[in-house]
A and B are shown apart, each in its own frame.
Chain A
Amino acid sequence: MHRRLFIKLLSQSAFVSYGLLTCPVLGWSKSAFDLALEGQNLIQQKNFSKAIKALQDAVRIDPESDWAFGLLGRAHLGLGQKAEAVAGFRESVRLNPADTYSRMMIEIITQNPIPKLEKKKRPLTPLEKEAMHEERDMLKKLRAEKGLGYKVKRVVIDAGHGGFDPGAVGQKGLKEKDVTLDLAIKLHERLARKGKIKSFLTRTGDYYIPLSARTATANQFQADLFISIHINANKNRQPSGSETYFCSEKASSAEAAKVAALENSVLKYDEPYKKKQGYIDIEEILFKFEQKLNWSESGKFAKAFQARFKKRLPLKSRGIHSANFYVLRRAKMPAILLETGFISNPDDEAKLKQPAFREKIVDAVARGLV
């Protein structure tokens, strides 16, 4: 085509298009504003059906018009179409968060149930397809259990200390880090044999793991319970027996508070939560509720384990204690710390050396879990 002719035709077509868009005689020439205004007038005349049509055209031309969406909400409400009304008001608020009126209407309408809007279907993405197949296969295997009882299917077992940190050392040279590792591995193997509960270890050899990494492992595997295994010690050789600790806001005794303070002293605390003024933070309510539940569940586990120790171990039971332990608090699941004897006590140390005694400890813990 000749260049000059092309430009001429282009200019003519542009002129025609402009004329079509601006000519008020033709229906499609109205602007979004005109249509919204028309819709508003129709609402005032209670002609809601016509108003909806005009307003739907308005939002088609200008999908950013919060005003038109708000009016669309009103028109639908006029016809009793609550779900559509809420959708219109919501879009208006999304486009203009300062639209008090639409926001208020959403709140008023949704105080009571409203019918659901049908959604448009679209083709599935590859991940959605994979997820669909996975869900079909997996949900068949998983058994739905009603009731609000706490379910334990995964446990992270933490062998206390390790590497350059031997923990407490007995008079005969028995090291806490070696006993805890042996107990942890034995427990892990026992649970693997039974097959009902999956277990994971924070360490599998003689190396040091910081406290923070131990709870990170629990979070890594979405554990339902975190068990930290330790052996107690005291400057005085007299104390002996087993005890179980769990996390709580307040220490159960001055002694427990001291133990927690000693453990926490080397760690930095999180920054305190800064409450937003004039705002009810529901996620914060849920977070605190979950923490409370986890702590309460930890107390129940502590009680169950200690009861097993009392029944099955030839050790004095020193009961359960609670305090605000950093290592337990960082866990996002119930968490307990077992002290299975005093390595500083010659009798306990001798028992802890025996494989048969260690098996008894493992047995007591495994039974406490089921």
Chain B
Amino acid sequence: MRIRGQGPGIRGLGSGIRDHGSGIRAKYVIFAVLLFFCCSSVVAAADVNELIFQGADYHYKGNLDKAVSRFEQAVKLDSENEYAHNQLGILYGKKGKFDKAFREFLTVADIDRQNTFALLWVGILHLRKGEMNQAFERFDKIIQIDQNSADGYYFLGTIYNFRRNPVMAIEYLKKARNADSGEADTHFRLAKAFHNADMIANALLEYNRTLEIKPSYTKALNEIGWIYYNTGKKEAAIKQWRKTLKINSKDRDAVLNLAKVYNDSAWDAFTSGKRKNALKYWQKTLNINPGNKAAKYYMAKYGSD
């Protein structure tokens, strides 16, 4: 379902309606027919569908107010139109009106208990309120309804990850990955679960898959850095964090990881009598993290000798 992508282009996706061959009117007719098949109850189909189509188009163009107005009119005409209620929920959420959004999704869940889209959003909004158990129940309900729900498994696995229960997290996140392997976040969180369970080959594999989908996923680069560092591949680790800094020069994790590793190297060199090397590493620390209190102190103390 890819609820996490949220589909609609809020950020300037153009009109979204293009004329191919028989043109927009034919497309609209087909849409209306399909919508009629897809929605369980359609009253005054033509009017409602026209409003929905307009609302969807405004939504994709980023005109949230007009989209809300169209969908509100649509649900007045057809109070049981699940798609319109769901769209209203998303739109209210985007406008920061989460209580109203919550009510819309609950309305859909009342109309159709099998509407997993609405259930997912109810769960997500429970998470937003910090209500773990209620959210968990909703996600669990989703996977009972739909055993291929990548999003349902994703959120359950993520909650288990947060509770540091890697075995359960792996079980659910693998199901999420198998249901939809195109989500970078799923691979990343599965990698974290494997990492947490000391399953390094699996963690590395999933971090790599994250990066195949989204090469700018700096959290994955940073974690791969730690895997390399913890297995004695210091230079490879440094390379990973440097890659992160090329993507985002202000990435705090990469800066602090590098500073720590340079500082550790400096201290190791210093204690084994290699003062010159130690100074080189403290200087590197300061280059990456100029405020680093340890490197500053040791450079001031031993740098001028």
Q: 8 Å CB contacts to A: which residues of B280-305?
A: 289, 291-294, 297
B265-280 contact mask (Cβ, 8 Å, vs A): 1 or 0: 0010001000000000
Q: Is A23 an interface residue (CB 8 A)?
A: no
Q: 8 Å CB contacts to A: which residues of B50-66?
A: 53, 56-57, 60, 62, 64
Which of A212-220, A235-243, A256-264, A360-368 is the contact stretch? A212-220
Query: Number of residues in B with C-beta < 8 Å to the partner?
Result: 104
Residues in B with CB closer than 8 Å to A163 are: 294, 297
Shortest beta-carbon distance, B67 to chain A, in Å?
10
A202-222 contact mask (Cβ, 8 Å, vs B): 1 or 0: 000101111011011101111
Q: 8 Å CB contacts to A: which residues of B158-182?
A: 158-160, 162-168, 170-171, 179, 181
Residues in A with CB closer than 8 Å to B34 are: 74, 77, 105, 108
- Docked Cα-Cα span, A113 to B116, in Å, equals 7
Residues in B with CB closer than 8 Å to A40 are: 20-22
Chain B minimum-CB-distance residue to A119: B181
Q: Which of B158, B200, B293 contacts A286 (CB 8 A)?
A: B158
Q: 8 Å CB contacts to B: which residues of A76-129?
A: 77, 93, 97-101, 103-116, 119, 127-128
Q: Check if B127 sits within 8 Å of A148, measured CB to CB.
A: no
A290 with B162, Cβ < 8 A, contacts A108-B38, A145-B167 known: yes
Chain B minimum-CB-distance residue to A83: B148
Q: Check if B198 sits within 8 Å of A138, measured CB to CB.
A: yes
Q: Check if B297 sits within 8 Å of A208, measured CB to CB.
A: yes
Q: Is A10 an interface residue (CB 8 A)?
A: no
Q: Check if B21 sits within 8 Å of A113, measured CB to CB.
A: no
Q: Check if A101 sits within 8 Å of B31, measured CB to CB.
A: yes
Chain B minimum-CB-distance residue to A93: B7
Q: Check if B38 sits within 8 Å of A114, measured CB to CB.
A: no
Q: 8 Å CB contacts to B: which residues of A234-288?
A: 266, 268, 270-271, 278-280, 282-283, 285-286, 288
- Docked Cα-Cα span, A354 to B201, in Å, equals 46
Q: Check if A37 sits within 8 Å of B168, measured CB to CB.
A: no
Q: Which of A98, A113, A278 contacts B10 (CB 8 A)?
A: A278
Q: Check if A164 sits within 8 Å of B124, measured CB to CB.
A: no
- Docked Cα-Cα span, A84 to B199, in Å, equals 35
- Docked Cα-Cα span, A358 to B35, in Å, equals 72
Q: Is A149 an interface residue (CB 8 A)?
A: yes
Q: Check if A100 sits within 8 Å of B16, measured CB to CB.
A: yes
Q: Check if A209 sits within 8 Å of B294, measured CB to CB.
A: yes
Q: Is B252 an interface residue (CB 8 A)?
A: yes
A100 with B56, Cβ < 8 A, contacts A139-B167, A280-B94 known: yes
Residues in B with CB closer than 8 Å to A283 are: 4, 185
Chain A minimum-CB-distance residue to B4: A282
Q: Check if A145 sits within 8 Å of B9, measured CB to CB.
A: no
Q: Is B106 an interface residue (CB 8 A)?
A: no
Q: Check if B30 sits within 8 Å of A103, measured CB to CB.
A: no
Could you tell me which B residues sit within 8 Å of A by CB distance? 1-4, 6-11, 13-18, 20-22, 26-27, 30-31, 34-35, 38-39, 53, 56-57, 60, 62, 64, 82-83, 86-87, 90, 93-95, 112, 114-118, 124, 127-128, 130, 132-133, 136, 145-146, 148-149, 158-160, 162-168, 170-171, 179, 181, 185, 192, 195-202, 204-205, 208, 226, 229-230, 250, 252-253, 256-257, 259-260, 263, 267, 271, 289, 291-294, 297
29 contacts between A and B (CB under 8 A): A37-B21, A44-B22, A44-B26, A99-B16, A100-B56, A100-B57, A103-B8, A105-B34, A107-B87, A110-B1, A128-B205, A131-B202, A133-B201, A143-B167, A144-B168, A144-B171, A145-B168, A163-B297, A212-B289, A215-B256, A216-B253, A216-B260, A219-B226, A280-B6, A280-B90, A282-B3, A285-B124, A289-B132, A289-B162
